[in-house]
Amino acid sequence: MNAQTIRNQFMSKFNLTDAIVHTATINTGDTPGPTYISAHPDHDSVIKPTYVTIQNIDDFKQFGGNPDEVYHNNLMAEHHAPLAACDAALTSLPYSELSVTQKSDLCQAYQTYVYGNSQNVQSYKDALQKHFFPAQLAVFAAQDVVVTKDNPLILSGNGDQPASFSFGTVTIQPGGQIINQANATLLADNLIQQTDSTTQPTNNFISVGPDGQNGAAGGNGGNGNTGNQGSAGSDGKSSCSTGAGQGDTGGTGYNGTGGGNGSRGTDAQVVRATFTTVEGPVILMSCGGNGGAGGAGGNGGNGGQGGPGGNSTSYCSTGAQGKGGQGGTGGNGGAGGDSGNGQNIYCTYQTLGTNGSISLGTPTKGQGGQGGAAGNGGNGGQGNPNGNGASAGTPGANGKNGTLGTVYINNVPQG
């Protein structure tokens, strides 16, 4: 089906009219920075969402997923991992009481039911209905959108809330980019990627998760205290009876604290996109957000100075300075966060227009965070002799790179 047919069926099913369509052309270059079409309350969305209630998972699959027929008719290879039969606890328990494993199974079953062959997870249907439906779907509709270089169009839901985006003609100027951050259904009658002789082709539609947060830097250790003064000398009748004492050893510098670990990048979200006509080279990619960098370890404090020698007397010389204190050890660097993973993009088109093509791009994110640098060891304190310097901390391990999402073009996986 083309985008218009899906749109008509959807609007009829949920009693929507053309009154929800934003008729003025949206041009992302009209305002600085990105333009949001978003259900998130923190975003200044150029279109406000219309909400419809999806009563059951089969309705959501009909308009936002893949029909079972593409698998039954061998038009798309089955690619969702098999699951054991549904545990009865998934239906009887509230979501908050499910274990991590049970929640993972439920989420996997959801993906398989909506985007895969639902017959493989029919035993999960009641549990999926209980925990995820009815659901509120944010619907956005606009006639024409122009995406300019340096002013990306960002499509966003509200967390994991699904969203539907429906457009007439979307024109992406050279260097423009659409960034998806939603569990999205995307419809466009015409998708036009313009080109010129100076702009290198790039990912013009990318589904990506937010980056992880960087770890905080560790605190530096304080310096050691100066050693106490040695005892004063004591004179005899005509000579030094007891020599002045050596000063005490300086205090050890305090250790630097470890840097905080970077957090994991967030996974991208699944996209189901239908384009009636595609003109120009459209390049798709899905990757998770980068892992956050680990915080640097704090530096160790310097050892304290050796205490001054005891005071001289008429016959006794001043005592020797004490030994310098040991430096503090540097803190370890925090570990870099792992990257999030890409998710599948299911893209279908009906017609390729002038120079039209759809292909897989190159990843621009999905990198593990850099481990934090080790803190330096503190220097030994000045003294007699000087104190020993301390060792540096250990650098943090780098985070792991994420896996890329698979892009399906007319049911065929790319790459």
The rounded Cα 125 to chain-centroid distance in angstroms is: 31
pLDDT tens sequence across 371-413: 999 999 999 999 999 999 999 999 999 999 999 999 999 999 9
pLDDT tens sequence across 162-207: 999 999 999 999 999 999 999 999 999 999 999 998 888 788 999 9
Identify the residue whose tokens are 């569990």.
183
pLDDT at 237: 85
For the four alpha carbons of 143, 149, 151 and 156, in that order, the dihedral sign comes to: positive
- Cβ atoms 51, 136 nearer than 8 A: yes
**Angle CA 23–27–32, to nearest 5:** 135
User: So where are the chain's domains?
Assistant: 3-214+264-293+340-371+403-413
Question: Given a cut of 90, is residue 265 above it in pLDDT?
Answer: yes
Of residues 333, 302, 327, 331, the one with CA closest to residue 390: 327
- Give the count of alpha carbons within 13 A of 261, CB side only: 10
pLDDT tens sequence across 319-333: 999 999 999 999 999
Contacts of 92 (CB under 8 A, 6+ apart): none
Q: CA–CA separation, 337 vs 110, rounded Å? A: 27
pLDDT tens sequence across 296-312: 999 999 999 999 999 99
pLDDT at 202: 86
Question: How much of the chain exceeds pLDDT 70, in percent?
Answer: 100
**Cβ neighbourhood burial of 24 (10 Å; 0-12, 13-18, 19+):** exposed
Q: CA–CA separation, 167 vs 287, rounded Å? A: 24
| Helices 100-115/125-132 angle, 10° precision | 100
Taking the model in full, what pTM does it have? 0.88
Mean pLDDT of 359-382: 95
State the pLDDT confidence band at 286, using cuts at 50, 70 and 90. Answer: very high
